[in-house]
Structure 1
Amino acid sequence: MVNNVLWTGGWDSTFRVLNLVLDKKKTIQPYYVNDPVRPSTEMEKKTMDKIRKLMIEFDPSAKERILETIYIKKEEIPENESITTEYKKLANSSWRLGDQYDWLPRYVAASSITNLELSVHNGDKAQKMIDQDVEKVEDGDDSYYRLVDNPSQPEFCIFSYFRFPIIDITKLGMEEVAKKGGYDHIMEETWFCHTPRKDGKSCGLCNPCKAAADEGLARRVTTPTKVDKAKYFLFKVKRRIKKSL
């Protein structure tokens, strides 16, 4: 069986990839969505290439267990009015759910994939949202969580398209597992910032940077200057204008 994993090169999805390939000796099929709006796309691709090489150096047999990444063009994902309507209910609520929970379910709905894994972790906004509406499924020497058949809110149906294998572990918990497995140095090569600086460092201002700092990985996050803050504010304004056109 092949595990279909959405991989971004970030801390959470990379942990899932390493845990599957190195610890559990599973074969994975990575998926990556090209988002032309996000400035970190090229950085994420370079990070995944580097991590793939490090995995093979760590365990040469890993080469056979990590398939070539399937790249998806975000702009080519089919529309799905039903999914988008339910997503907007959550996006416009106090949860302010990110737009990946619109186009990712639309992609899965239009594809033949039935078991795409999202690396939502303990402490993630989505985890807090659906924590009482998921059930654990044992799958041999592995396990994952899935949305229950009748969730407390109908709009949670957008989460039914995915499996959540690490929803019960924190970022620091992942670090401990990686240390025991001897591949924590590979985890240090992960990239999570959505708006990297020109010098290749994290911005320290985007939501993934803030989450990393809040959840015990402050060492990985650059402290932003006043100039950084001004540039980030300008970027956010330009992005809102672009998305509204």
Structure 2
Amino acid sequence: MNDPASEGVRLLWTSGWDSTFQLLRLLLVHRLPVTPYYLEDPTRASTPTELAAIARITDAVHAQYPHTRALLRPLRRFRVADLAPDAGIADALREVRTRMYIGSQYAWLPMFCKQHGVDGIEMSVHVDDKVQALLSSRVVAFQQTGAYRSVRVAPGQAGTPEHTLFRYFSFPLFSIDKRAMETEARLAGWGALMEMTWFCHRPLRGKPCGACAPCIYTIEEGLAWRVPRARRALSFVYRTFARPLKPPLRQALASLRGNRA
């Protein structure tokens, strides 16, 4: 693993709205060196699209703001499939899911950090995010590199499943939502760069599907314009009739697994 001091701010960057917004803040507002990290999930059909978006955004940022060539380090890519299972992290995710469903990435992200010795990497959790609600009473504030406010899970939470899953991360966007990001980006002149971001996990013919979790969150959190109109109609049907059935099905499956155990 590279020397943390030489990497500057470590940031999980997916090419999505939130992590790209934080990248631009770091490079253009705080003018800090940044090393972006990307974990390749073989189950996610959007991986090639996300990597292409990262390349386009990088080229555009370098062209528009030449000073960023010296600040933005090369993307560091890792494969989720190369991670070793971790029973403690798996148990922590299982415990959290009895109270709130969060995605499987919240198992392999801490596994990656633990196995690669990464600590303090930035995760772009924001207002309206499930993880923000999960951690809202469990974080403490601090000054990142003396430049801006961020939060992390409080040391006093040690021993909790939340600490096990999120101890390796800091959350610089913990108090801002997507619409506030949109406003700030527009005022700063980053609108065109933000429109290059990608979020859909199951793209259809190069467009957002409207039904995967990131598409739904994008619509519900105030950025519905990013999903094509026809897919928004499909999303409405899905959210109205199919999505409400998922929580009870998950609860039934969790109960069944618990009985078997």
Tell me the TM-score normalised to structure 1 length: 0.88
Distance 2:11 2:139 in 1: 19
Query: Aligned pair in 2 of structure 1 residues 153, 123: CA closer, same or farther (>3 Å)?
Result: farther
- Give matches, 1:168-183, under 5 Å: 168-183=175-190
1:186 alignment partner in structure 2: 193
**Partner residue of 1:35 out of 36, 41, 53:** 41
2:172 alignment partner in structure 1: 165
SS, match of residue 192 in structure 1: coil
2:123 alignment partner in structure 1: 118
Count of residues in Structure 1 that have an aligned counterpart in Structure 2: 228
Q: Are the counterparts in 2 of residues 83 and 106 from structure 1 also a CA contact under 8 Å?
A: yes
Query: Aligned pair in 2 of structure 1 residues 53, 132: CA closer, same or farther (>3 Å)?
Result: same
1:62 alignment partner in structure 2: 68
1:129 alignment partner in structure 2: 134
Q: Deviations over 1:89-138 (max 9, x none)?
A: 113x2411100110000110111221111011111010011111111102
SS, match of residue 155 in structure 2: coil
CA positional deviation for 1:154? 1.4
Distance 1:125 1:153 in 2: 21
Give 2:44's aligned amino acid.
R
Q: Are the counterparts in 2 of residues 133 and 152 from structure 1 also a CA contact under 8 Å?
A: no
Distance 1:73 1:85 in 2: 22
2:245 alignment partner in structure 1: none
Distance 1:183 1:57 in 2: 13
Could you tell me which runs of 5 or more consecutive residues in structure 2 were left unpaired when the two chains were aligned.
243-261
Q: 2:113 aligned with 1:90, yes or no?
A: no
Percent of matched pairs sharing the same residue? 32
SS, match of residue 150 in structure 1: helix
Q: Which moved more, 1:4-13 or 1:179-188?
A: 179-188
**Partner residue of 2:106 out of 101, 105, 110:** 101
Give 2:193's aligned amino acid.
I
Q: 2:80 aligned with 1:74, yes or no?
A: yes
Tell me the TM-score normalised to structure 2 length: 0.83
1:138 alignment partner in structure 2: 143
2:16 alignment partner in structure 1: 10
SS, match of residue 156 in structure 1: helix
CA positional deviation for 1:153? 8.1
Distance 1:175 1:64 in 2: 26
Give 1:183's aligned amino acid.
W
Q: Deviations over 1:129-174 (max 9, x none)?
A: 1111111102312121000122398111111111111111100111
Structural RMSD (CA): 1.9
Distance 1:108 1:45 in 2: 21
